Structure 1
Amino acid sequence: MKITEFLIIDLDARDLVDLRTTERHALSLAELEVLKCLVSHVGDVVSKEQLNTAGWPGRVVAPSSLTQCMSSLRKKLVAQTDIELKNIPRYGYSLCIVDEHDIATDETKAETVSTAVQPQTEEGHVAFKSKRLNINLASRIVWSTLVVLAGIIITLHFSGGLKKAVNYIALLAKPQIAAITTQNFEFNHTSSLVSKVFLDSQSTDTSQQATSADELIANWFNYEDVLAASSEKQLFTYDNGQYESIALCNDFGSTCSDRQPLNLVRTADAPVTPLDIQWLADTKLRMEQVTYNKILLDKFETENSGVVEDVYRADVYYYSDTKNVVRADVRLSMIFDSDNRGKLVAAACITDDMLREISIRYQFSGDFKLKQSLIDGKVVKTFLVDVDERSFTSPQQVSKESATIYREIRKNVLQNEQMVIRQVYQDDDSGVWMLPLWGETMVWAHREQVSL
């Protein structure tokens, strides 16, 4: 779907595509439908009611949903100087597209008018000459600066530094964790705690958190025996607009004693699907009899004895309205060369319950830089990874359910030379990560340390 000469909507991939830079922005289902509605009424004012009907058909949503959707669309359109998404107070929104040819014509006319007006007096003539001298001097300074910058850019280009610099700046520009809200709730007659993670681009309206914890598990049933009432539970959740992920430790004291935390993903825009936890536990037990994903411990070469390697392992399950669950067997392995630098290997094998064989496998590795920050009392570790090796096994056939992660890996992992991986919790036996699976997915992983 064409918006402008250089901007289109890839309806199949649900992406906003800049043809000049080939940059892609993933759109949630609501963002896609709202944007399509605005594009079909370019220049007109579209009411909030009409946009709500387009983005959330048959659903009653809070006013903040449309506001947040528009905020997200503006961020994804920020590089498009010829497009403006206007807010019409108390009514709706309008998508305005400026003709760049008209702008250039107006600028030419303005320049013609300004040069046609000449000062008539001697004082005016002197002032005019002085102004021209100042303009010429400023032009020389600008050109000199541009020449120096061009030299620096050419040097960086041939040394390979330009690409790294551009990639690193793009990496830093990615949304960061803005808040981690925490809420107590009762689950299976047990006092529990849920922490919800928000990025910069997301709303952190705590007034909407009152029912969110109950809604997370409202579709679960037959969990009384699997998730015992005798132990405290902690959950971390993240909703990226397309997928909602939940990482649950079933036995939490001062640390997570659960060796197999429950990690679940579902499509956020789809109707809530009932989930039989007992059936899932039986399915997990069968699928996890085979472990396809093994990172060799000798992947890291070091001459120093006593170096400790951190290895994290987790199983993540995507479920929908079918009985076919998709399993991602995830491994994360790293060693530190210093307090904030080291090497990392990440790998995932994806299978599903229908094929029961390896369908997708990917791995990437490289050096990382670690940045730490304190957000809402929680230590957040951000690993900026320079990817130097990657591999991908493309499946011969993909089920409808496993296609969800196949598209995400192709789009968000394989094309990136730098990756951002975040950790929002760690103890001696486990860690909670945001990993590149279904978008960014919350994963509670079991931790082991190995001396090399």
Structure 2
Amino acid sequence: MLKITPYLELDTEAHQLVDHVSGKKVILTFSESAVLHRLLLSSKPVCSKEELLSAGWPDRVVAVTSLTQCISTLRKKLDAYREVQLKTIARRGYQLHISTQSHVKMLAVNDAESMRAAIFDVSLIVKISGIVIALLLLVLAWYFSDSHKAKQNLARWSADEQFDLQVGGLKGNAQLLYKDDAPHLHPFMWEKHLLPDNSFLTCHEDFNAYVATDGENYSMAICPGSDKEQCAGKGLINLTSVDSEPAQLNLEEFVDLSSAMEQRIRYNRVMLPESTDTSGALLEHNYQADVYFPVKDELLIRADINMSLIYDSSDSGEFHSSTCITDQDCLTTPIKYKVRGKFKQYSGMIDGLKADIFQVKVEQKDLIRPDKLNGSAVRFYRDLRKRNIKDEELYYIRIHQDHKTAVWVIPLFGQVTAWYHYERFDI
């Protein structure tokens, strides 16, 4: 076999052309095969008529017209292969010209030389174009990747400010988080919902706090105590305002009321459904928070939030979330919303604040409609109904973690920031 192009060969024994793309074989006469063979092996750019006559008709004397006729029929048989051209050189002979740029779209992939020729035997412009296209494909793949989408979501948050927050007669430092250049970042936007001159926190020396806004909701997550690294997990206060009018919340009364609400019923003690695969040793990371939504002249709404992460690798696993909405007088029967899916964890920074963002691909959602619904809870039920219809991918951001607690920003009624109790369980 004598290679003509990466996919076309001359079989000198069978006197035929072998096309490895189509599998087609083109029969040649002895003279056509011999003439083509001589043209392929010639070290000279042009083969004389005498050389070709000697090759095609050995030990015979034939007229030049025999060669002319042979060349004509050979050209017809090569006509399907445009990169192979048999040229007549006036008064000198014939030349076989083979283009290095093949027009075929398939190669004999088991032929290493063919593959190498197809890749390297092309013009510089083709090579550059191929590199540019490959780079564009890589950029597009990265842009639409889960990792980039998670980092984009994280990039919408800023944490470049801190301010003093006045709560319960005590002043402490608060880390501010805000989304998409949200306006009105003055401490007043959080403090205005609390009645002033309340001294119930003065038994503590200090507190840690995170305050956050997505431009609509204003969340406040407070851990009383002077330890800036570790939160004791006692007396956590999570308030989120969903109305611009000051709620006039009396914190001392709120603490007594919230304690009563939490002791009355906790719906989210058991998180994992029985169907969860628990073969082998698994570790559940469980987070629980009570978030309150004060609105002026309305019943206090409580969200009992429970989240569980079960890792099956260092950065992925199963995600379970359950939220239960009740009011202070039990006029609204529990609104329950559960989400289950697979999570992927990514790490990043928000203006120097270390953060972990969890992308959750939702696999199952359950919204249990309450038997009774008062006016204070209507807005929350409507929001959960929208999420139950629309959500397919969710992002949860963890901005603090210690041995007993964690602070999360979660997609609930907009974006809600809260301080969670943290536990680990073997399952």
Bin of the TM-score, shorter chain as denominator length:
0.5 to 0.7
Looking at structure 1, the residues matched to 411 and 388 of structure 2 have their Cα atoms a distance apart, in angstroms, of: 7
Looking at structure 2, the residues matched to 278 and 445 of structure 1 have their Cα atoms a distance apart, in angstroms, of: 21
1:198 aligns with 2:174: no
Question: 1:285-296 maps to which residues of 2 (within 5 A)?
Answer: 285-289=259-263, 290-296=265-271
The SS at the match of 2:375 is coil
Q: CA deviation at 1:338?
A: 1.7
Q: CA deviation at 1:358?
A: 3.0
1:248 aligns with 2:227: no
1:393 aligns with 2:368: yes
Q: CA deviation at 1:384?
A: 0.6
The structure-2 alpha-carbon separation of the partners of 1:342 and 1:216, relative to structure 1 and needing over 3 Å to count, comes to: same
TM-score, normalised with respect to structure 2: 0.60
Which residue pairs with 2:242 in the alignment? 267
Conserved? CA contact 2:170–2:201, under 8 Å: no
Conserved? CA contact 1:249–1:261, under 8 Å: yes
1:435 aligns with 2:410: yes
Which residue pairs with 1:178 in the alignment? 157
TM-score, normalised with respect to structure 1: 0.57
The structure-2 alpha-carbon separation of the partners of 1:402 and 1:357, relative to structure 1 and needing over 3 Å to count, comes to: closer
Where does the alignment leave 5 or more consecutive residues of structure 1 unmatched? 1-164
Looking at structure 1, the residues matched to 314 and 204 of structure 2 have their Cα atoms a distance apart, in angstroms, of: 39
Which residue pairs with 2:14 in the alignment? none
* Cα distance per residue 1:103-152 (max 9 Å; x no partner): xxxxxxxxxxxxxxxxxxxxxxxxxxxxxxxxxxxxxxxxxxxxxxxxxx
Q: CA deviation at 1:298?
A: 6.4
Where does the alignment leave 5 or more consecutive residues of structure 2 unmatched? 1-143
Aligned residues: 285
Which residue pairs with 1:277 in the alignment? 251
1:372 aligns with 2:352: no
The SS at the match of 1:402 is helix
Q: CA deviation at 1:302?
A: 2.9
Looking at structure 2, the residues matched to 451 and 168 of structure 1 have their Cα atoms a distance apart, in angstroms, of: 29
Which deviates more from structure 2 when the two are superposed, residues 407-416 or residues 291-300? 291-300
Which deviates more from structure 2 when the two are superposed, residues 173-182 or residues 420-429? 173-182
The SS at the match of 1:406 is helix
The structure-2 alpha-carbon separation of the partners of 1:231 and 1:448, relative to structure 1 and needing over 3 Å to count, comes to: farther
Looking at structure 2, the residues matched to 370 and 171 of structure 1 have their Cα atoms a distance apart, in angstroms, of: 9
* Cα distance per residue 1:371-412 (max 9 Å; x no partner): 100222221111111111221101233222211211221223
The structure-2 alpha-carbon separation of the partners of 1:191 and 1:241, relative to structure 1 and needing over 3 Å to count, comes to: closer
Which residue pairs with 2:211 in the alignment? 237
Question: 1:112-261 maps to which residues of 2 (within 5 A)?
Answer: 174=153, 176-185=155-164, 187=166, 190=170, 192-199=172-179, 201-203=180-182, 209=185, 212-221=186-195, 224=198, 226-253=200-227, 254-261=229-236
Looking at structure 1, the residues matched to 256 and 238 of structure 2 have their Cα atoms a distance apart, in angstroms, of: 15
Code of the aligned partner of 2:176:
K
The structure-2 alpha-carbon separation of the partners of 1:293 and 1:440, relative to structure 1 and needing over 3 Å to count, comes to: same
Looking at structure 2, the residues matched to 339 and 394 of structure 1 have their Cα atoms a distance apart, in angstroms, of: 37
Q: CA deviation at 1:263?
A: 0.8
The structure-2 alpha-carbon separation of the partners of 1:380 and 1:171, relative to structure 1 and needing over 3 Å to count, comes to: closer
The SS at the match of 1:411 is helix
Question: 1:58-69 maps to which residues of 2 (within 5 A)?
Answer: none
User: Identity of paired residues, percent?
Assistant: 22
* Cα distance per residue 1:185-226 (max 9 Å; x no partner): 264565521111122x2258xxx75xx225522442377553
Q: CA deviation at 1:275?
A: 1.1
Instruction: Kindly indicate which of the two structures has a greater share of residues assigned to helix.
Output: 1
Looking at structure 1, the residues matched to 235 and 352 of structure 2 have their Cα atoms a distance apart, in angstroms, of: 26
Code of the aligned partner of 2:400:
Y
